[in-house]
Amino acid sequence: MFVERSDMKFKDFHDGTTRVQLGKLPGIMGCTMTFKKGAFTVPHAHDDHLQFIYFLKGKFEITCGSEKRICLPGDCMYADYNELHGSFALEDDSM
């Protein structure tokens, strides 16, 4: 599957977070997200897809299941179906 830029969905959450949804199929969604320092996602879970996060830049405090860790560029996180996960940006322009 190829996705052209014109098919990508942009969303501004108005709290310092933006998301570009690159594509979504049953069981998987691809996106990029950018956070300002202090922006966060409330712990949540997805019943329709798995989530894999690769950290490109910045610094995050990530909660996944019962674990909480600091994630830096090059780190990854995987959340299974219905697994609670959330993030808190510790630096501006974190992605």
Q: Give me the pLDDT at residue 30, please.
A: 83
Question: Higher pLDDT residue, 2 or 44?
Answer: 44
Using pLDDT thresholds of 50, 70 and 90, give the confidence band for residue 91. very high
Nearest to 55 by CA among 81, 32, 85, 39: 32
CA distances from 89 to 7, 23, 81, 82 (A): 28, 24, 23, 23
Sheet hosting strand 17-25, strand order edge to edge: 9-12, 17-25, 28-35
Contacts of 52 (CB under 8 A, 6+ apart): 76, 77, 78, 79
27-68 pLDDT per residue, tens: 888 888 899 999 999 999 999 998 888 899 999 999 999 999
